[in-house]
Amino acid sequence: MQGRKSNEPKLFYQVSLDRFVPQDHIIRKMQDVLDLTYLYTATKPYYAHDGKPSIDPIVLFKLYIIGYFFGIPSERRILKEVQVNLVYRWYLGYDLDEMLPDHSILTKARYRFPEPLFEQCFKHIVCLCKDAGLIDGTFHFIDSTVVKADVAQESFRARLLPVEEYLKEVQVNAEQDYAFNGTVDPEKMGGRI
């Protein structure tokens, strides 16, 4: 008998995001190995002592970790990816029904923390990943020559940029996306009624 998938949404779901994260996923390994609680002490002087609580600084740095490890140099795109990727949500500690922070919190964080502190914390996190054996710093380069070969795709690894290059790329993307340079392109203007 031919089956048909019903597309009616359920009223209630009983789901644990943990169930959707494969045991061998790099994010699960990072969660198990990396202790980022030192970030509370490192970033505390840059927060007020009263007022509305901020986004957890560990969440901020985890967002940048996601961007770094998965080659996402745009702060806007990092948050778009987190919105649809259950593994990223799990890593950040956000459930399916929780609103994610706006992408602008990443830009604000880069300006809130002095650049040396931000770079120091980010480099420290990458060093923790190296020490835990999550990354090894080797590169694989492939040219465009078509060659028949019996190669396991799992053996290839993405090239990780040096931390400084990644942070510069994030800054450049942020400036290109959001900075007004004083000129108006009529082709990009909305229609007027």
Beta-carbon contacts of 17 under 8 Å, excluding residues fewer than 6 positions away, are 86, 89, 90, 95, 96
Is the separation of the CB atoms in 134 and 126 below 8 Å? Answer: no
Burial 56-81 (b: 16+ CB within 10 A, else e): bbbbbbbbbbbbbbeebbbbbebbeb
Is the separation of the CB atoms in 124 and 42 below 8 Å? Answer: no
At 149, which amino acid appears?
A
- Report pLDDT for 94: 93
Instruction: Please indicate, yes or no, if residue 188 is contained in any of the structural domains.
Output: no
Instruction: Please indicate, yes or no, if residue 45 is contained in any of the structural domains.
Output: yes
With the CA atoms of 175, 178, 179 and 184 taken in that order, what torsion angle do they form, in degrees rounded to the nearest 10? 130
Instruction: Please indicate, yes or no, if residue 190 is contained in any of the structural domains.
Output: no
Instruction: Please indicate, yes or no, if residue 7 is contained in any of the structural domains.
Output: no
Number of structural domains (the chain) is: 1
- Report pLDDT for 127: 85
Helix (H, G, I), strand (E, B) or coil at 142: coil
Domain that holds residue 102: 17-143+162-180
- Report pLDDT for 7: 81
Exposure of 123 in the CB half-sphere (CA atoms within 13 A)? 10
What letter does residue 71 receive in the DSSP assignment? T
Is the separation of the CB atoms in 17 and 93 below 8 Å? Answer: no
Is the separation of the CB atoms in 125 and 61 below 8 Å? Answer: yes
- Report pLDDT for 130: 83
Instruction: Please indicate, yes or no, if residue 152 is contained in any of the structural domains.
Output: no
Instruction: Please indicate, yes or no, if residue 113 is contained in any of the structural domains.
Output: yes
Rounded Cα–Cα distance for residues 35 and 179 (Å): 35
- The per-residue pLDDT string of the chain (193 residues; one tens digit each, 9 = 90 and over) reads 777 877 887 777 788 889 989 999 889 988 988 889 999 999 999 888 888 888 999 999 999 889 988 889 899 999 999 999 999 999 999 988 889 999 888 888 888 888 888 888 888 888 888 888 877 766 555 555 555 555 555 555 566 777 788 888 888 877 665 555 555 555 554 544 4
Instruction: Please indicate, yes or no, if residue 28 is contained in any of the structural domains.
Output: yes
- Report pLDDT for 192: 43
Helix (H, G, I), strand (E, B) or coil at 45: helix
Instruction: Please indicate, yes or no, if residue 191 is contained in any of the structural domains.
Output: no
Give the relative orientation of helices 57-69 and 163-178 as an angle to the nearest 10 degrees.
100
